[in-house]
Structure 1
Amino acid sequence: MKDRKQRVLLAAQKLFIEKGFAATSVQDILNESNISKGTFYNYFSSKNECLISILAHAHDIASARRQELLIGKDPSDIDVFVKQIAVRMEVNREQHLIPLYEAIFHSEDPELSEFVKKLHIYELAWLSKRLVDIYGEIAAPYAMDGAIMTAGMMKHYIHICMNHLNKDINRHQLIYFVLRRIEAIMAHMMETNDQLIGQQFPLPADYNWSNHTLTKETLIERLSSFANSVTNDSKAVEYIEFLAEELKSEQPRLALLETILLAFGDVFTGSSKEAEAKELAFTIYTYLKELKSSLNK
């Protein structure tokens, strides 16, 4: 994301939160970000698209942080799963997104509602996939039902605590509590072969359950391209050069690379490059896992 476009998004997000989405005009955004109308429409076709870009960027950041948490970890580790679920809540708080989601709900705008619906489906698909990681392939026919119940339980507990008990809830405590219930439910569904939605859930066409085929050459090329976009950050360039050289090695040092990949991702935390950097780090880690697996066969 270009730095100037990012500044426009930050200005628009500030106004949407302070004034409300409906009360904020394109002219308000122009004034706040000190750009021309032509520049705004070069980036976005409408105020709606500007808001969608804000939410999409936050979604990308959350997804990248979730991937980063898996580096060097067992996908079936329940503690990792809890931290990954919490990431979505953390990003929503950091980015002050709750008022924006509420504005979309009350606006009844079909374009915005469709986008939020798509994000919700992505979240359910991700939860379903991770439940299979936790409980094994035998859980696949029941995972979407489990995902829907997981999301529903957390949503309603948060709603009750915030709106009726007037208190915040410890998100990790909540997630562990819900997952303990889900563990029993998943076991019972598998034991009784009981499912409601099952694998009939219509995933978005662009939702990818598996990683693309990875090659050393592709990863080195991606690192080179990324380096060209962050030339002003000497520490990041140093990490990139190390990663590229290590990947070229006949026997990459996995443990060392894992450490560098985590540090590489941390350099960009909170920046406009965060999602891209952490997704790249996880992609490299996935390649190394596949390489190690093939060597052990």
Structure 2
Amino acid sequence: MNNRKRHVANVALRLFVEKGIQQTSIQEIIEQANISKGTFYNYFSSKNDCIAEILEGLRYDASQIRMEMQMGKDEKDRQVLIEQISILIQLNEERNLNALFEASLSSNEKELKKLVLHHRMYELDWLAKRLTEVFGYHIEEYAFECTILFYGMIQHIMFTMRVTNMPRSIHRIVDIILSYIELIIPKMIEQNSKLLDQSAIHLLRANVDRRIITVKELIELAQHIEKEATFTQEQQDLFTVIISELKQERIRKCVLQPLLKPFQLTFMKTPLEAQVNTFTSMVWYFLKSL
């Protein structure tokens, strides 16, 4: 983003924080940035396009700061991770971005929600990756859930401190809550327990991306499962009916939906459990779009 465009984006961000996104008009941005309408539309096709650029700029700034912090240091350095998390929380606090994000998510603007959810997803993926690097790749399948637990704790601890006017050290908060996550991880591994399996995470991504799932994609995934599995008679019967229904010109929700859970349950604690969970979640999501 060039300097002039960045200036306009910064002005827009200030107005969005002060007044709210929906309450800020493009004309106000133009006047505050001291540019012509043509210049604004040369940079951004719409207000949402402006927001997308702002969020992209925030992600770029964060990635640059984080890379600088990590440069020349061990990727497993816990203190580096604490600094990387703390700096972004600090920046968001200073810019009052969390309030802006929450207001966006509670609005009726679908495109706006999607932009903010994409931004949140980027942060979740980044921290899940860093937790895996710092604590070891044996925690990889638990890292995303740990990330959600971490940010949930951060959010509510900081909220409580804010409303009670308690002194806050973001670095100390991050350090202590990270230590809680470190205690939780061994228990998750020992018990092989997760509240979110891969199918739930896949569904979350599908909702964020609003990706259109096709029948062709579902059939291909089903065929892959069929190649990997040795079906019991019950599994084969359910599978046959599900695939047959998916191939119909008019897919009947009332037929498919009751079959998904029984099919999924027959694969519990089997090597194909995760794949079948993903498949049934995708079918469920596809049926919602009909």
TM-score for both structures, normalised by structure 1:
0.63
Matches within 5 A, 1:1-297: 1-163=1-163, 165-200=164-199, 201-202=201-202
Number of the residue aligned with 1:253: none
Count, aligned residues: 205
Deviation at 1:169, TM superposition (A): 2.1
Distance in 1 of aligned mates of 2:99 and 2:187: 38
Distance in 1 of aligned mates of 2:15 and 2:96: 12
Deviation at 1:99, TM superposition (A): 4.1
Deviation at 1:80, TM superposition (A): 0.7
- Unaligned ranges ≥5, structure 1: 208-297
Structure possessing the higher radius of gyration over alpha carbons? 2
Distance in 2 of aligned mates of 1:181 and 1:115: 31
Distance in 1 of aligned mates of 2:96 and 2:183: 34
Distance in 2 of aligned mates of 1:106 and 1:166: 26
Residue by residue, what CA displacement relative to the aligned partner does 1:204-244 show, whole Å, maximum 9, x if unpaired?
69x9xxxxxxxxxxxxxxxxxxxxxxxxxxxxxxxxxxxxx
Distance in 1 of aligned mates of 2:197 and 2:111: 28
Residue by residue, what CA displacement relative to the aligned partner does 1:28-68 show, whole Å, maximum 9, x if unpaired?
11111222212111111111221232222112111221122
Counterpart of 1:107 in 2: which secondary structure? coil
Distance in 1 of aligned mates of 2:167 and 2:63: 24
Deviation at 1:198, TM superposition (A): 4.3
8 Å contact kept, 1:142–1:198: no
8 Å contact kept, 1:144–1:199: no
Q: After superposing the two structures, state which structure 1 stretch, 87-96 or 41-50, moved more.
A: 87-96
Identity of aligned residues (%): 40
Distance in 1 of aligned mates of 2:161 and 2:172: 13
Q: After superposing the two structures, state which structure 1 stretch, 57-66 or 9-18, moved more.
A: 9-18
- Unaligned ranges ≥5, structure 2: 210-290
Number of the residue aligned with 1:219: none
8 Å contact kept, 1:127–1:147: yes
Distance in 2 of aligned mates of 1:145 and 1:15: 35
Number of the residue aligned with 1:211: none
Q: After superposing the two structures, state which structure 1 stretch, 4-13 or 194-203, moved more.
A: 194-203
Distance in 1 of aligned mates of 2:115 and 2:109: 10
Number of the residue aligned with 1:246: none
Deviation at 1:168, TM superposition (A): 4.9
Distance in 1 of aligned mates of 2:133 and 2:170: 22
Question: Would the alpha carbon gap of residues 84 and 12 (structure 1) be closer, same or farther in structure 2, given more than 3 Å must change?
Answer: same
Deviation at 1:90, TM superposition (A): 2.1
8 Å contact kept, 1:143–1:198: no
Structure 2 counterpart of 1:57, one-letter code: G
Distance in 2 of aligned mates of 1:170 and 1:108: 35
TM-score for both structures, normalised by structure 2:
0.65
8 Å contact kept, 1:8–1:33: yes
Query: Over aligned residues, Cα RMSD in angstroms?
Result: 2.2
Distance in 1 of aligned mates of 2:120 and 2:20: 22
Structure 2 counterpart of 1:10, one-letter code: N
Distance in 2 of aligned mates of 1:107 and 1:71: 39
